[in-house]
């Protein structure tokens, strides 16, 4: 476990597949209710999100190899990761989200800030270099 209380497997899975709480909620809903195929209107109703957003999140999760399009209904999906590692990571993630919801949410929201900071730091480093006479500015 790390200082956030999340295993490295869960952190890798979140970093690879999950960029929003909404996408996480869609994934966990479909994982918890595998007895049926889910379409955007049903997910939207269950999670109280827009149909367009539900459709977008399911398409993203399908692209990430976590959902399969249902054979009977073209716009319906089922939880069906292609890799056993993803099945295990999703199970760990579901348990972590249930027990340490704030840690999972904090981890998801901390990632974009790291990217923004890195982007901002690139300009700080360039600016410092320019002051030393090494740059072109």
**What's the rounded Cα separation, in Å, for the pair 72 and 69?**
9
Name residue, tokens 């956030």. Answer: 4
Q: Using alpha carbons only, what angle is made at residue 96 by residues 93 and 99, rounded to the nearest 5 degrees?
A: 150
Residue 4: pLDDT band (50, 70, 90) is low
- The domains located in the chain, with CATH, are 8-110 (1.10.10.10)
Q: What is the pLDDT of residue 33?
A: 97
> pLDDT, tens digit, for every residue of 82-124?
999 999 999 999 999 999 999 999 999 987 555 555 555 556 5
Strand 38-39 with 67-69, pairing: unpaired
Higher-confidence residue of 74 and 34: namely 34
Q: What is the separation of C-alpha 25 from the centre of its chain, rounded to a whole number of angstroms?
A: 9
Residue 29 is encoded by which pair of tokens? Answer: 């809903």
Model-level pTM greater than 0.85? no
CA distances from 134 to 31, 118, 125, 137 (A): 54, 21, 11, 9
Assess whether pLDDT exceeds 60 at residue 136.
no
* Residue 79 CB partners (closer than 8 Å, separation 6+): 27, 30, 31, 34, 66, 67, 90
Residues 69-89, mean pLDDT to the nearest whole number? 91
């Amino acid at each position: 476990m790390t200082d956030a209380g999340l295993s490295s497997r869960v952190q890798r899975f979140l970093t690879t597949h999950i960029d929003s709480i909404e996408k996480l909620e869609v994934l966990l809903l479909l994982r918890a209710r595998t007895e049926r195929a889910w379409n955007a209107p049903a997910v939207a109703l269950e999670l109280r999100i827009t149909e367009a957003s539900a459709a977008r999140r399911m398409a993203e999760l399908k692209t990430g190899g976590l959902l399969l399009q249902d054979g009977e209904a073209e716009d319906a999906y089922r939880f069906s990761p292609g890799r056993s590692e993803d099945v295990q990571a999703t199970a760990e993630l579901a348990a972590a989200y249930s027990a340490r919801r704030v840690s999972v949410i904090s981890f998801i929201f901390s990632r974009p800030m790291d990217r923004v900071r890195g982007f901002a730091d690139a300009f700080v480093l360039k600016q410092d270099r320019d002051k030393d006479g090494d740059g072109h500015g």
